[in-house]
Structure 1
Amino acid sequence: MEEVNQTTVTEFVLAGLAENPELQLPLLLIFLGVYLVTVVGNLGMIILILVSSQLHTPMYYLLSSLSLIDCCQSTVITPKMLVNFVTQKNVIPYPECIAQFYFFCVFTVAECHMLAAMAYDRYVAISNPLLYKVTMSYQVCFWMIAGVYGMGLLSATVHTVFLLKVFFCKANIIKHYFCDLSPLLELSCSSTFINEVLALSFSAFNIILPVMTILSSYIFIIVSIFHIQSTGGRSKAFSTCSSHIFAVVVFYGSLAFMYLQPSTFNSPGQGKLSSVFYTIVVPMLNPMIYSLRNKDVKVALKILLENISFYLTKNSFS
């Protein structure tokens, strides 16, 4: 009789961002607009870097990789969330939920380490400009990017393997807008001690290690900037790093608030608000931050638009 009562959950229901029906349409329009801006901005950045020879440097290869991560991360989360705004009951099958969590974990961890890799690249460029091409060669850049994705795949695989061992038999309503780890573990009928230890350990590693790398890089960068004699040189160095610093503060701030604390201290409302920042807002902001404050990107975009305009004008008269 006990085996009959313990029915395995085959699907979950995503509660979404807000339960108030009056908010559904405004939220749908807002996040649809945000998603479109995210996709266009990040894909545009990738295409611009690919077609502009002046941007074929390690710094911009890392930036294009960050844009790819942001675009993929947003695509894993946002479309399913948008469906929740137009359906009364947003059902997600168990396999799809696990897959969503897996890819979300891959790209979130990858972004943590990608921001650290970009900080190291800025350190080399400012502290050792004469050795930049040697230190940050294309081979080194390739292995850095491979390592970033490797860390994401490793973390996601470990989390998912142990998540598959968790038994779900009762409630199936996830108090979130996507299949995140903490809301899933709250529905478990079995022990989640190992999952919580792994979550805290991997979160600490994937947040603290990159943050320490970023802080160390910027300490050396600041020391190097103070050794620059010209005011213009200092200003250029600071402007090169300011966009990256802003992206780091927003991303890691929301991520640390979400994961570097026990689940008992993190309310569903706080978790949703924090998650919105690093899953939806940050992927939209990053292309704007790096394009609006980057002279090379502005010049490359201007040249590309002029070439497109010239090509269209030429074809219209031919």
Structure 2
Amino acid sequence: MCQDNQTKVTEVYLLGLQGLENFKTLFFSVLLLIYMAIVIGNILIILLVSTNSNLKIPMFIFLQHLALADVLLATFVIPLMAEVILKTKKKMSVDDCIIQLYSYSIFGFVQCFILVIMSYDRYVAISNPLHYILIMDRRICFLLGFGSWALTWILASTEIIFTAQFEFCGLKDIDYFFCDLGPIIKLSTSDTSIVEWIDLTYSALFFFCALIFITGTYIYIFIIILKISSSAGRKKSFSTCSAHLISVGAYYGSIIAIYVTPANESSPSVYKYSSLLYTVVNPLVNPIIYSLRNHEIRQALHKIVEELWSNIMVI
């Protein structure tokens, strides 16, 4: 309950990146271009996998899920972020803020689970290539892919149910460019210990355990690759994992940059700029990585470009 001298807050103000008024038009333009690149790149991957029979294998099916999570995460965060930067201050209802946090949590969890599944897929492909299609059949791919979304929805819903009961009294400013859990907890006048405990548990059980699983999987994969006699075979085996490894590095690198920051006066700014890696850079990097590092994706894209060019020339 709010105290007698405090008013219950139903609207908050996102402050964005303060002190950059002279560069806000530049930041807005860059964010807009990046968002367009994220949407085009990830939707292109989704369409390529959906329409090309050569790409309908487990690795690319899971990549399709990752691309969907990337584009949805970017859509729920970047346009609002750009508006906050352009206007310097953005008014937002508490309910809308909670909804954005909910969406952000879902797509963040999905990215984590899909990266784990993709590491398992690479492990099966390299350790047991003769039975790969039997192990990673269409039914298993469906269960793993859509099971990730279902589990994510359950986890995010559990956390958001408690977060939605927070009260905000007096203070209205969130020194951030979107509604993340940390700034919301800091602003709330309610007891936030349950949500903080849930968040810590999720981080330990899922993000940390997922990283351990992926690391263990790739240690085993590298041991198998080193046992391959021919250098060409080793190179080919490693190339099938390289794009996923870069994605994992970018994902966990940004997570570590966000949550392992020193507790000093500059932490809020460091925290905000680190979050740009996760919300902006990651969704942009993934389609670029898989386009450059994967022969099948490049070949499918090249085929589409050729068909489009042929149609243009006919017209």
By the TM > 0.5 criterion, same fold? Answer: yes
Query: Which residue of structure 1 aligns with residue 253 of structure 2?
Result: 253
Superposed CA deviations along residues 20-67 of structure 1, whole A, max 9, x for unmatched, are 210211111111111111111001111111111111111101001100
Which structure 1 residue ranges, 4+ long, deviate > 4 Å from structure 2? Answer: 260-266
Which stretch has the larger CA shift, 23-32 or 300-309? 300-309
Which stretch has the larger CA shift, 256-265 or 13-22? 256-265
Query: Which residue of structure 2 aligns with residue 165 of structure 1?
Result: 165
- On the 8 A contact 1:203/1:259 being kept in 2, the answer is no
CA distance in 2, matches of 1:49, 1:237: 22
Question: Partner letter of residue 76 of structure 1?
Answer: F
Question: Partner letter of residue 184 of structure 1?
Answer: I
CA distance in 2, matches of 1:305, 1:234: 32
CA distance in 2, matches of 1:32, 1:108: 21
Query: Which residue of structure 2 aligns with residue 24 of structure 1?
Result: 24
Query: Which residue of structure 1 aligns with residue 176 of structure 2?
Result: 176
CA positional deviation for 1:262: 9.8
CA distance in 1, matches of 2:126, 2:291: 20
CA distance in 2, matches of 1:161, 1:263: 29
CA 1:135–1:265 in structure 2 vs 1: closer, same or farther (change >3 Å)? farther
Structure 1 position 211 matched with structure 2 position 211: yes
Structure 1 position 289 matched with structure 2 position 289: yes
CA positional deviation for 1:240: 1.4
Which stretch has the larger CA shift, 106-115 or 147-156? 147-156
CA distance in 2, matches of 1:11, 1:304: 47
Point out where structure 1 has 5 or more consecutive residues left out of the alignment. Answer: none
TM-score w.r.t. structure 1 length?
A: 0.94
- On the 8 A contact 2:261/2:271 being kept in 1, the answer is no
CA positional deviation for 1:206: 2.2
CA positional deviation for 1:259: 3.7
Describe how 1:103-114 pairs up with structure 2 within 5 A.
103-114=103-114
CA positional deviation for 1:261: 7.7
CA distance in 1, matches of 2:239, 2:265: 38
Structure 1 position 63 matched with structure 2 position 87: no
CA positional deviation for 1:150: 2.1
CA distance in 1, matches of 2:222, 2:210: 18
Question: Partner letter of residue 59 of structure 2?
Answer: M
Question: Partner letter of residue 69 of structure 1?
Answer: A
Question: Partner letter of residue 47 of structure 2?
Answer: I
- On the 8 A contact 1:182/1:263 being kept in 2, the answer is no
TM-score w.r.t. structure 2 length?
A: 0.94
Describe how 1:88-107 pairs up with structure 2 within 5 A.
88-107=88-107
Residue 12 of structure 1 aligns to a residue in which SS?
strand
Describe how 1:69-218 pairs up with structure 2 within 5 A.
69-218=69-218
Residue 17 of structure 1 aligns to a residue in which SS?
coil
Point out where structure 2 has 5 or more consecutive residues left out of the alignment. Answer: none
CA positional deviation for 1:216: 1.8
- On the 8 A contact 2:110/2:152 being kept in 1, the answer is yes
Question: Partner letter of residue 71 of structure 2?
Answer: C
CA distance in 1, matches of 2:17, 2:228: 49
Which stretch has the larger CA shift, 257-266 or 89-98? 257-266
Question: Partner letter of residue 98 of structure 1?
Answer: I
CA positional deviation for 1:265: 9.6
Which stretch has the larger CA shift, 234-243 or 128-137? 234-243
Question: Partner letter of residue 180 of structure 1?
Answer: D
The alignment-based identity, stated in percent, is 36
- On the 8 A contact 2:261/2:270 being kept in 1, the answer is no
- On the 8 A contact 1:14/1:90 being kept in 2, the answer is yes
CA distance in 2, matches of 1:144, 1:222: 24
Question: Partner letter of residue 18 of structure 1?
Answer: Q
Which stretch has the larger CA shift, 167-176 or 13-22? 13-22
Residue 13 of structure 1 aligns to a residue in which SS?
strand
Query: Which residue of structure 2 aligns with residue 221 of structure 1?
Result: 221
Aligned residues: 314
